[in-house]
Amino acid sequence: MEDKKSQIWAFIVTGLMILISLIYYKVNVYYIYVVVYIWFGFAYGMMLQYGRFCFASASRDLFAAGVPRMAVGILLGLIFFSLVAAFLTASNMTTFHAGPIGIHEVIGGLIFGVGMVLSGGCASGSLYKIGEGNGTSILAILGISFGQAIFADVGGIFNKFLPKEWVNNALSQTRIPQEKITSWFDYFLVGDVFRKPKMTLDEAGFMSGFHGITKFLLSDAIINTIIPALALILIIYVFYIRKGFLKKRAKQKGGATGFGDELSGIWGMITASKRTSLMGVLIGLTAGLHIFVLKGMQIKFGIFNFGELLERMGHISDLSTNGTVFDPGYWYITTQEAQFGAWVLEKFGWNMHDNVYFGFSNGLPEPWRNPALWMSIGIIFGAMVMALLNKEFKFKVPKGELIAWGLFGGLFMGLGARIALGCNIGAFFIRVAGGDPGGWLFGIGMVGGAFIGVKFFNWWSERKMAKEMEAF
Amino acid sequence: MAMKFEKTGEGKYMLDVCGYVCPHPQIYCKKSLEKMAEGDVLEMVFDNPSSAETIVQMLDQAGHELKEKKKEGGKIIFVIEKG
């Protein structure tokens, strides 16, 4: 009976998403662009939930429990995504653009990494866990949303701590209207980050002798992504699996082990959690397909940004002064949550348009016309459907310490994501697979932050168990 | 928030971390097993499906045996023998 109820709810949620899609299509054919985001979000949500795919878990479970399943899943995802991305770049069917490379990514990644361990899920992981009914993840997403919105807009006393160089750089440029440069974050963006170099590895000098698909496969996929990913898989095997595996193998064989056993050990590690590894591969391929479809939509409508379609439909107030809205063109989390937070704060009278992040770059569309926000909603509902089908949906109200961990973790993730200009998806997964070496800088910071978070939680749980538990 | 780690009999323990989300169930499972002797049995009750995948692999790697796993109305129950 309970099973049947869960299945009926899964059909209701799916039906609701289909209905929403049909309504959008009926209102205006341009909204098919939003519908594409909804359904890719839905697919990501299903895969994330089925594979228990969370970037927080990748480093946290490795450091806290010695379990590499998630780290391996992500690295497999990167490998497959990079191959698709290289073909898309070679055929000029990509929406990917490199980001600024600098120390801000390591710093942002570090803060983000601490936050994701505290809240129990990364940016994408928190969304899929909302779909499982996890109330702590709702708090984490609220922390991400409002934390980013406030951080992007606050100036005042914080501007007194601005490096002089950033202020001078911001004042001397002409691209961005001066009246939009108001917050600490604006000066950081305009005076520092926007001036940093951007590149994908195919643009490097040593690649000038290569052409066509060979160039993109060799540089962006093989050198930037596949070799480092394979090296990391090997490092994880050596440090976390090898000793225990070879000991077991030697006992079974009753003698010495060889190279074949090492290969079996690596393969065993990759296939230890089939659902995570399989979803890693599928998520990588889907992320590539997502880029391909959105590029196709942009070509079909003759646009570079969804803001152009909103303008054609007369929704001018949604747009930034640049005439755009946030439309990443690929899988992305955090900026759309920041827009949601800012949209709510505007309803309470806070002017969120007087800054670079919303006012000049990303706009503040109404949530129902925000394509990337629909992608996040799609992730939640896709995960919900998968959880319902597997009888894993259970609404859990956050209590006690989990309220603090969720909110503070979310705030840390929001702060880190703004400093690094993205989260575990936009600043790491997409950038690395797209051939941008800067993505690894965020990854290094994120893993470092997770290590700090795990050390803290180990201390905390030891203390709590000793204090509260009878048998400890 | 209430969680329980109790001795329920000779060589038998119970860990209840219902309501807790990642990473708490896996950390508490690991720490509980560290406190037990080889051959002792832990009945672990939790309701965070994402933790299950990690715990299963953690037990396998550490040489503990997952003797039973069942689902009861949104709760997951693992019976683990420390190896």
Q: What is the CATH number of the domain that holds B76?
A: 3.30.110.40
Q: Which pLDDT value is given to residue A302? A: 97
Cβ burial of B11 (10 Å; 0-12, 13-18, 19+) is middle
Report the length, in residues, of chain A. Answer: 472
Decide if B80 touches A, using CB distance below 8 A.
no
Task: Tell me the C-alpha distance between B24 and A463, whole Å.
Answer: 13
Number of alpha carbons in the 13 Å side-chain half-sphere of residue B9: 5
The dihedral through the CA atoms of A303, A305, A306, A308 has a sign that is negative
Give me A227's structure tokens.
């070799």
Decide if B24 touches A, using CB distance below 8 A.
yes
Task: Tell me the C-alpha distance between A115 and A222, whole Å.
Answer: 31
ipTM: 0.82
DSSP three-state, residue A295: helix
- Sequence letter at residue A451: F
- The continuous run of DSSP H or E covering B75 comes out as strand B75-81
Does the beta-carbon distance from B54 to A121 stay under 8 Å?
no
Residues 401-430 of chain A whose Cβ lies under 8 A from any Cβ of chain B:
401-402
Does the beta-carbon distance from B7 to A471 stay under 8 Å?
yes
Q: What are the backbone dihedrals phi and psi of residue B42, each rounded to the nearest 5 degrees, phi first?
A: -115, 125
- Sequence letter at residue A296: G
Best-predicted range by mean pLDDT (A79-88, A456-465, B73-82): A79-88
As beta bridge partners, residue B14 has B6, B43
Contact B79, B51 (CB under 8 A): no
Q: Mutation test of the interface with chain A: which of B53, B58, B70, B72, choosing the one with the most A Cβ atoms within 10 A?
A: B53
Assess whether B29 carries a catalytic annotation. no
Torsion-angle region of residue A302: left (phi > 0), alpha (psi -120 to 50) or beta? left
How far from each other are the two terminal CA atoms of chain A, in whole angstroms? 40
pLDDT score of B3 more than 90: no
Average pLDDT of chain A, as a whole number: 94
Task: Tell me the C-alpha distance between A75 and A281, whole Å.
Answer: 9
Find the closest chain A residue to B35 by CA distance.
A472
Contact A427, A88 (CB under 8 A): no
Task: Tell me the C-alpha distance between B30 and A139, whole Å.
Answer: 27
Write out the E strands in A206-313: none
Alpha carbon of A273: minimum distance to chain B alpha carbons (Å):
7
Crossing angle between the packed helical segments A103-119 and A55-65, to the nearest 10 degrees: 70
Considering CB atoms only, which of B27, B60, B63 is closest to A457?
B27
Q: For residue A214, what pLDDT band results from cuts at 50, 70 and 90?
A: very high
Residue appearing with tokens 């309701």: B47
Q: For residue A471, what pLDDT band results from cuts at 50, 70 and 90?
A: low
Q: Which pLDDT value is given to residue A1? A: 55
Residues 224-253 of chain A whose Cβ lies under 8 A from any Cβ of chain B:
241, 244
Contact B13, A51 (CB under 8 A): no
Contact A309, A300 (CB under 8 A): no
Q: Which pLDDT value is given to residue A179? A: 94
Q: Are strands B65-72 and B75-81 parallel, antiparallel or unpaired?
A: antiparallel
Decide if B83 touches A, using CB distance below 8 A.
no
Report the length, in residues, of chain B. Answer: 83
As beta bridge partners, residue B77 has B45, B70
Q: Mutation test of the interface with chain B: which of A9, A48, A52, A53, choosing the one with the most B Cβ atoms within 10 A?
A: A52
Residue A470: list chain B partners with CB under 8 A: 5-7
> Tell me: the pLDDT tens digits for B41-83?
999 999 888 899 899 989 988 889 999 999 887 789 999 999 8
Give me A70's structure tokens.
């998630």
Decide if B30 touches A, using CB distance below 8 A.
yes
As beta bridge partners, residue B46 has B76
The total of structural domains in chain B comes to 1
Find the closest chain A residue to B23 by CA distance.
A120
Residue A396: list chain B partners with CB under 8 A: 19, 21, 47-48
Residues 22-41 of chain A whose Cβ lies under 8 A from any Cβ of chain B:
none
- The continuous run of DSSP H or E covering B5 comes out as strand B4-9
Decide if B13 touches A, using CB distance below 8 A.
yes
Contact A211, A230 (CB under 8 A): no
Considering CB atoms only, which of A2, A54, A272 is closest to B50?
A54
- The continuous run of DSSP H or E covering A442 comes out as helix A438-468
Decide if A3 touches B, using CB distance below 8 A.
no
Number of alpha carbons in the 13 Å side-chain half-sphere of residue A306: 26
Residue A399: list chain B partners with CB under 8 A: 1, 19
Decide if B6 touches A, using CB distance below 8 A.
yes
Residues 137-156 of chain A whose Cβ lies under 8 A from any Cβ of chain B:
137
Residue A195: count of CB within 10 angstroms of its CB: 15
Q: Which pLDDT value is given to residue A131? A: 96
- What is the edge-to-edge ordering of all strands in the sheet holding B4-9? B4-9, B12-16, B41-46, B75-81, B65-72
Does the beta-carbon distance from B22 to A472 stay under 8 Å?
no
- Sequence letter at residue A305: N
Does the beta-carbon distance from A402 to B19 stay under 8 Å?
yes
Q: What percent of chain A has pLDDT over 70?
A: 99
Which structural domain, as residue segments, surrounds residue B73? 4-81
Lowest mean pLDDT segment, chosen from A9-13, A382-386, A430-434, B26-30? B26-30
pTM: 0.93
Between CA A346 and CA A352, with CA A351 as vertex, the angle to 5 degrees is 80
Q: For residue A125, what pLDDT band results from cuts at 50, 70 and 90?
A: very high
Torsion-angle region of residue B63: left (phi > 0), alpha (psi -120 to 50) or beta? left
Decide if A454 touches B, using CB distance below 8 A.
yes
Alpha carbon of B12: minimum distance to chain A alpha carbons (Å):
11
Task: Tell me the C-alpha distance between A52 and A29, whole Å.
Answer: 35
- The continuous run of DSSP H or E covering A344 comes out as helix A335-347
